[in-house]
């Protein structure tokens, strides 16, 4: 039990880590200075793109110039959620701009915006799955409902975070190749991509473990329920069987009473059913014959003829 709780705690730490990394990704670019400015998605050389700075970094909420390793706050766009990555929309059309940004403008625009939305939804499900996991630490063997909810939310969070990671990676890797093809400097934000793919890994491990644990709990719950039902059925059968004994004893008593009453002579027996005088006499003689111990007595025993009972009287022959 202690080992299982320890695994639940480690699983909860994985979820908390995934949630923390996702928060950093959501908040990247929320401030012009500080640690959050180091979390960007893409940096490229944008010299000659109309009034664009020489080097530009794209964040979640805006883009800013980056000159000599220092953020240039004077070359930043206004903040808004899900700032799209699209040099054509960010700086305007230009002949020296890579052609892919002009011809495939919608690809970069919607990939970056949809990815941010998926990241936000994934963070929402991470927050939802943390609560059932905390409950399962203390009630891991009884809260099957919370375990099932945790499984559903875990896989939902993994799906949306993985989708966001794929969209971001596809969008900015395609842009990096376009800049490299034109001989311009470009690189991905290593912090953001390390964070988002680490989040995917943590959620994958957490989802697999949560599924296995819930399946084990459900199997044990079903097994215990089947055993309890079987025991209840057995007990009910035994109770019904033992409860039938008093009735059987009563029936036996009734049978015994009837047998004893039949064996005893009834005072109200009709004269035709009562034994006659000659029948009694023959019975006594047979008893004396059986109890005789001397041979002489056996020889002197009288012959007893058959007693016949007729409808009009008794006839005997000696």
* Token digits of residue 269: 């027996």
Task: Kindly state the average pLDDT of the residues 304-308.
Answer: 41
**Kind and range of the H or E element at 116?**
helix 105-138
pLDDT the model gives residue 74: 66
Cβ-Cβ contacts under 8 Å for 43 (sequence gap 6 or more): 55, 56, 57, 58, 66, 186, 187, 189
**Kind and range of the H or E element at 185?**
none
pLDDT the model gives residue 79: 85
Using pLDDT thresholds of 50, 70 and 90, give the confidence band for residue 14: very high
Place of tokens 């909860």: 12
Q: Is the pLDDT of residue 39 over 70?
A: yes
Query: What is the pTM (predicted TM-score) of this model?
Result: 0.67
At 45 the three-state DSSP class reads strand
Least reliable range by pLDDT among 79-83, 197-201, 298-302: 298-302
Task: Kindly state the average pLDDT of the residues 271-293.
Answer: 50
Contact between 166 and 198 (Cβ < 8 Å): no
Dump pLDDT digits (tens) for 235-255. Answer: 555 555 555 555 544 555 544
Least reliable range by pLDDT among 4-8, 153-157, 187-191, 290-294: 290-294
Burial class (CB in 10 A: 0-12, 13-18, 19+), 191: middle
């Amino acid at each position: 039990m202690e080992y299982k709780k320890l695994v639940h705690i480690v699983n909860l730490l994985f979820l908390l880590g995934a949630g923390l990394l996702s928060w950093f990704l959501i908040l990247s670019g929320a401030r012009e200075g500080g640690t959050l400015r180091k979390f960007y998605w893409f940096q490229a050389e944008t010299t000659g793109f109309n009034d664009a700075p020489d080097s530009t970094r794209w964040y979640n909420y805006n883009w800013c110039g980056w000159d000599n390793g220092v953020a240039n706050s004077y070359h930043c766009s206004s903040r808004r959620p899900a700032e799209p990555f699209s040099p054509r929309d960010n700086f305007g059309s230009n002949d020296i701009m890579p052609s892919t940004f002009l011809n495939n403008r919608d690809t970069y625009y919607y990939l970056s915006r949809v990815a941010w939305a998926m990241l936000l939804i994934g963070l929402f499900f991470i927050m939802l799955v943390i609560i059932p996991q905390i409950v399962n630490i203390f009630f891991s063997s009884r809260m099957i409902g919370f375990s099932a909810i945790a499984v559903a939310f875990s896989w939902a969070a993994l799906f949306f975070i993985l989708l966001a990671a794929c969209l971001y990676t596809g969008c900015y890797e395609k842009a990096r190749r376009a800049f490299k093809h034109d001989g311009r400097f470009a690189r991905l934000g290593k912090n953001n991509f390390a964070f988002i793919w680490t989040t995917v890994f943590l959620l994958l491990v957490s989802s697999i473990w949560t599924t296995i644990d819930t399946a084990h709990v459900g199997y044990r719950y079903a097994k215990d329920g089947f055993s309890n039902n079987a025991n209840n059925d057995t007990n009910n059968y035994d109770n019904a069987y033992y409860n039938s004994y008093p009735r059987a004893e009563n029936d036996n008593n009734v049978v015994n009473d009837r047998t004893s009453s039949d064996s005893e002579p009834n005072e109200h027996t009709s004269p035709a059913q009562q034994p006659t005088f000659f029948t009694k006499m023959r019975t006594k003689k047979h008893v004396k014959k059986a109890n005789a111990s001397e041979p002489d007595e056996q020889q002197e025993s009288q012959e007893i003829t058959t007693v016949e009972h007729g409808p009009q009287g008794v006839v005997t022959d000696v």
